[in-house]
Structure 1
Amino acid sequence: TVDGNIYQVGDVKKAFPMESLSKVFTLALAMEQRGPQEVLDKLGASATGLPFNSGLAVELTKGAPENPLVNAGAMSTVSLIEAKDKTDRWNKILNNLNAWADASLTVNEPVFKSEMETNQHNQALAMLMASYNSFYGDTREAVEIYTRQCSVDITVEQLAKMGAVLANKGKSPFNGKQLLNERYVPQVLAEMAIAGLYDGSGKWLYTVGIPAKSGVGGGMVAIVPGQYAIAVYSPPLDAAGNSVRAQQTIAYVAEATQANLFLAH
């Protein structure tokens, strides 16, 4: 909760790779560095209506990144992070994740190695973006750093703490740090509402009504502004790449707490 209370059940200490969950927090870092207007201009805020790794989506918009939470836009986000060099860029991204999680997170090296060996599709997306001038740095470097950030291991408790920062106006209830300018929190939550559950995002917003983000590692986090964040880990995924049980659990809690943002409160 925004008061720093933690309620948990199940195997909350089990670590799993963040995968796409990491996109939200690197977006927040880009937002902090560049402000919402530049993020909107360079990364976009529209649903693609297509799978999260769609090259067709990039082609149809002539490279305009539709949003920072699909793969193409997320790699573009990494390239937008202000840094002196590759090492500095990675350190800024990892240190940012650590601050949000209130923990020292580590990369799952076997996952990183495996994903680096099979990320040709993402490399192609980055090159396609670059061909339309929608990439803001070296494509190879950004794809590697993006792959590394997706391979960071996290527990569901740490993920809930990260979500609580967004619920608490950008300030961590756990270490007291203002990690994102309060004025920029609505924009990050809007991006989550638009594209947090890939091409299942519209249906999620329609039925549950709170911003959320999933990752193909089986994790999911949802935010109720001013109140709480909830994180769930359960690996079986639906066709869109979202955890089946996480969606059901969060929907249940959101319903019980009348969390839908479109309800009159």
Structure 2
Amino acid sequence: MTGIETKQHIQQRYQEQLEQAVILASRHVKEGKVASYIPELAKSDPNHLSAAVVLMDGSVIAAGNTQTRFTLQSIAKLFSLAIALADHGCEYVFSRVGMEPTGDPFNSIMKLEAIKPHKPLNPMINAGAIVVCDMVKGNGCEERTERILSLLRKMTGNPEICVNHAVYLSEKNSANRNRALAYFMKDSGVLTGDVEDTLDFYFRHCSIEVNTQDVAWMASVLAADGAHPVTGERLIDERIAGICKTFMVTCGMYNASGEFAIQVGIPAKSGVAGGIMATVPMQMGIGVYSPGLDEKGNSLAGVKLLQELSNLWNLSIF
């Protein structure tokens, strides 16, 4: 058997197992509820489930309609964090946002008010991500948005990645809780820039539109410690990529991160549009999409799918 045949055999096995895992997980799509507090997200098809995997040689396997587009939402928080860390370094960034997981919902204001100083516990909750957005350098919202778009286009090889304007406006017009968080932090001195400009960037970067294959390519770059797995181009500093993956384990699945770490065991970040980005260091990047969410705000069928893949392929890093 030649090397090429061996590679083809592995890809075929992965393809068949991915398709079977999607079929098994699809039984759970109706158990989740599509996010409705952002009105535009409520229009999503609750029956959708798709997944894509990028291996370290650049091979792509996919199941379901992987060209269906959705917005990153909280998955984007990893990449604004990566840019802020590159702009300022760890010491400064983590002087303004913490590194600890929280057992509270992602949009909670309770601990922010209770702890002193009033800095958010981590960059993956909304308050922390807003502070991170405040730290991304750029002359206004549009320049900062273009910086993150440029990074994601390089990671995915997709020059058409852009902001979904309808979702952006829907978020902006329904963001009372996020405005409360931002103005509280401005009053406390944690947020130093213009509140509305920072929020505008936050809404825009959450509204960047992708498909599962794009997400799998993003995850593959993190799996390769910040280098593009095919070209070898350094897109994210290795140390920063490691920090991002650590936050994915400790905080990436909101206040279900501990349970996910035990049941699935790989770094992952979810978003309330129904996407999940998961990375297996030096093995693969995974993108999953199903818009029906569980009570913690994670894609219910998406989590079931990742559990199945982790068991099939022995993916847990623990």
Give the TM-score taking structure 1 as reference length.
0.94
**Deviation larger for 25-34 or 147-156:** 25-34
Is the contact made by 1:163 and 1:222 (CA closer than 8 Å) also made in structure 2? yes
Alignment of 1:33-182 (within 5 A): 33-62=87-116, 63-104=118-159, 105-182=161-238
CA distance in 2, matches of 1:35, 1:227: 28
Say which is worse superposed, 242-251 or 32-41, in terms of deviation. 32-41
Structure 2 CA distance for aligned equivalents of residues 248 and 191 of structure 1: 21
Residues 44-85 of structure 1, C-alpha deviations (whole Å, 9 max, x = no match): 111121000011121122322211111111111111012233
1:7-18 correspondence runs (5 A): 7-18=61-72
SS at match of 2:74: helix
Give me the whole-angstrom Cα distance separating, in 2, the residues matched to 1:230 and 1:12.
12
Distance 2:283 2:114 in 1: 39
Q: Distance in 2 between matches of 1:9 and 1:67?
A: 33
- What CA distance in whole angstroms lies between the structure 1 residues aligned with 2:205 and 2:230? 22
| Deviation, structure 1 residue 174 | 4.5
Matches within 5 A, 1:214-225: 214-225=270-281
Q: Measured at CA, do residues 86 and 115 of structure 1 come closer, stay the same or move farther in structure 2, by a change above 3 Å?
A: closer
One-letter amino acid of the counterpart of residue 148, structure 2? I
In 1, are the aligned partners of 2:105 and 2:255 still within 8 Å (CA)? yes
Counterpart position of 2:39: none
For residues 58 and 92 of structure 1, what CA distance do their matches in structure 2 show?
29
User: Is the CA contact 1:102–1:175 (under 8 Å) kept in the aligned structure 2?
Assistant: no
Structure 1 position 124, deviation (Å): 0.9
User: Larger relative contact order (C-alpha < 8 A, sep ≥ 6)?
Assistant: 2
**Native 8 Å contact 1:35 1:184 kept in 2:** no
| SS of aligned partner of 2:286 | strand
Deviation per residue, 1:115-150 (Å, 9 max, x gap): 111112111101111222221321111111110111
Q: Among 252, 255, 259, which residue is 1:203 paired with? A: 259
Q: Could you tell me whether the CA contact under 8 Å between 1:219 and 1:231 is conserved in 2?
A: yes
Alpha-carbon distance, 1:175 to partner: 4.8
Q: Provide structure 2 residue ranges, at least 5 long, that are not aligned to the other structure.
A: 1-54
Question: Does 2:44 match 1:4?
Answer: no
3-state SS of the aligned residue for 2:163? coil
In structure 2, the residue matched to 1:230 is 286
**Unaligned regions of 5+ residues in structure 1, if any?**
none
In 2, distance between residues paired with 1:14 and 1:60? 41
Residue pair 2:142, 2:201 contacting (<8 A) in 1 also: no
Whole-Å separation in 1 of the counterparts to 2:184 and 2:155: 32
Per the TM alignment, residue 31 of structure 1 is displaced from its structure 2 partner at its CA by 1.9
**CA separation in 1, counterparts of 2:158 and 2:232?**
13
Structure whose CA Rg is larger: 2
Cα distance in structure 1, aligned partners of 2:230 and 2:114 = 43
TM-score, normalised with respect to structure 2: 0.79
Question: What is the root-mean-square deviation in Å for CA atoms of aligned residues?
Answer: 1.4
CA distance in 1, matches of 2:241, 2:187: 31
2:248 aligned to 192, 195, 218, which one?
192
Secondary structure of the structure 2 residue equivalent to 1:7: strand
